[in-house]
Chains A and B, each alone.
Chain A
Amino acid sequence: MKPSVFVHHAPRSVDEALAVLAEHGHDGKVLAGGQSLIPMLNMRLAAPGHLVDINRVAGLDTVEVTADAVHIGALVRHTQLERHEGAFVHLPLLRQALVHVAHPVIRNRGTTVGSIAHADPCAEMPAVLALTSGYVEVASSRGTRTVAARDFFLGPLESCLEEDEMVTGASFGRFAAGVGTAFAESTRRHGDYALAGVAAVVSVTDGLITSARASFVSVTPTPDVLDLSDLLTGSAPEDGAWAKAADLAREHVDPETDIHASAQYRRMLVGVLIARVLAQAASSSTAVAARD
């Protein structure tokens, strides 16, 4: 239960970090919050020869709200983003999902960008990034690029990052005013990995649904987005519409059976949860529209 030997690098700037990755990336790993990586090191599921500890890199710990996005640096801890008032006001889905990320003590150290880079389909924030049509900023000594969420996640724990690249930030897209969002998940115990989770965004205009989308936690190999707009547009936001959406979602997901729950049970949960979050998102959309 102790990590194997590694060389510890503590760069002070992104450029220094990228230089280390250029040389050792094939046998290296970036360490930010470490709340997923260090358990893997402790259990020796991973044994990289080099760790690039970016905790001393300056300038990566800011949350910035722009006209169309909430941008976070690679060292923004989950707790910091959860408590950020500007981020909450302009993209409530962030806090709605972040309170489900593990326990508060883990969120104090774990970073949101680290969770995205880890690409765990059982994590909440990759699903949120996907639903907000967000992107990640990727850097290497060869240059920088932005990668849309739909292109970033290739499979469970697998992203399109090259070995000399690191994620320096992520941008969650803001929704238009009047759009409602909600997040729900089901866990065995408070703070556990979700057996299934659903994030939803719905817009309601003049009492009818005009668009609806959802993304999933723990039941799809990558956090892809299910567009329900064709199915629901023009329907009233009520139980009949949510039941149709639940049928489609149960077909869409691809859960696996493990020690915690059967695939069949997870599929059933998806139906229950999506009906719940769509209704919540629609009512918050209506509420906002009514205020305007």
Chain B
Amino acid sequence: MTEGTQTPGTDAEALSAEPLVEITLRVNDVLHTAAAPTRRLLSDFLRHELRLTGTHVGCEHGVCGACTVLFDGAPIRSCLMFAVSAQDHAITTVEGLAMNAVQQAFIECHGLQCGFCTPGFLTTITAYLQENPAPTEAEAREAISGNLCRCTGYQNIVRSVLRAAEIQVLRAAEIQVLRGAEIARGGDG
């Protein structure tokens, strides 16, 4: 393994000669293909090649959680994966959440201020609630412990996690009612 820092200038030279590879990903249920160098991080591939700038890049070493996306349904740090390694896998970014219960809860509970960390929180919490639909406050705090927010002090984000769990229950109940109404109408006809 070669260790050491890159000397200034060599990066630009290397870039011009750097070979590109075709990378195909399914992002938010749409197939995308773009050419990029193999060292392109998934976070940068989403933002630069695919122009999906909802995924934010904070620390680029896995600490802040802003770049969290769903990889085959499970949250991962997109700054800690190369786009080429994600070839043929399914990615969900914040653009693909389609105004889900978590987003609704963030609006209702003032769960964001500047919004920079928010895409990472939304993806993380969305995946968390699928496995843990009724968390306690302590569990909600633990669920977001891998995401940093410098504005809110977390209180309203914790509240948003709990509210999102409630909204999920309400929405499920609404669907039940609508289905019931449909069945009743079907019976009349």
A in complex with B: yes
User: Does A241 belong to the interface (CB within 8 Å)?
Assistant: no
A47 CA to B85 CA, complexed, in Å: 18
Nearest-CB distance from B65 to chain A (Å)? Answer: 7
On chain B, the number of residues with a Cβ less than 8 Å from chain A's Cβ atoms is: 38
Question: Bound complex: CA of A28 vs CA of B3, how far in Å?
Answer: 11
Q: How far is the CA of A48 from the CA of B1 in the complex (A)?
A: 5
CA A105 to CA B4, docked complex, whole Å: 29
Q: Which residues of A contact B14 (CB under 8 A)?
A: 4-5
Given the known inter-chain contacts A3-B39, A105-B124, please indicate yes or no for A53 contacting B85, CB distance below 8 A. Answer: yes
Contacting residues, chain B, for A38 (C-beta < 8 A): 41, 61-62, 79-82
Instruction: Please state if A109 and B2 are interface contacts (CB–CB under 8 Å).
Output: no
- Chain B: residues with CB nearer than 8 A to chain A? 1-6, 11, 14-15, 18, 21, 37-39, 41, 44, 60-62, 65, 68, 71, 74-77, 79-82, 84-85, 124, 128, 142-143, 145-146
Q: In the bound complex, do residue A44 and residue B2 qualify as a contact, i.e. CB atoms below 8 Å apart? A: no
Interface residues of A (CB under 8 A from B): 1-8, 10, 27-29, 31, 34-35, 38-39, 41-49, 51, 53, 55, 79, 102-106, 108-109, 163, 189-191
Q: Given contacts A4-B14, A191-B145, is CB(A105)–CB(B65) below 8 Å?
A: yes
Q: Which of B2, B60, B80, B82 interacts with A49 by CB under 8 Å?
A: B2
Say yes or no: B39 contacts A4, CB within 8 Å: yes
CB-CB under 8 A from B60, the residues of chain A are 1-2, 42
The 6 closest A-B pairs by CB, nearest first: A103-B146, A8-B38, A39-B61, A190-B145, A1-B60, A5-B14
The residue of chain A having its C-beta at the shortest distance from the C-beta of B60 within the complex is A1
- Asked if A47 and B81 sit within 8 Å, CB to CB, the answer is no
Q: Is the CB of B6 within 8 A of A108?
A: no
**How far is B128's CA from A23's CA once the two chains are assembled, in angstroms?**
43
Q: Would B81 and A106 count as touching, CB distance under 8 A?
A: no
Is there an interface contact between A47 and B2, defined as CB atoms closer than 8 Å?
yes
Q: Which residues of A contact B4 (CB under 8 A)?
A: 47
* Given the contacts A1-B60, A10-B84, A55-B85, A105 and B38 also touching, CB distance less than 8 Å: no
Question: Is A2 touching B41 in the complex (CB atoms < 8 A)?
Answer: yes
Residues of B within 8 A of A53 (CB): 82, 84-85
A102 to B63, CA, bound (A): 10
Residues of B within 8 A of A79 (CB): 74
Could you list some 18 contacts between A and B, CB below 8 A?
Answer: A5-B15, A6-B39, A31-B85, A35-B80, A38-B80, A38-B81, A38-B82, A39-B80, A47-B3, A47-B6, A48-B2, A53-B82, A55-B85, A104-B75, A104-B143, A105-B124, A108-B75, A109-B76
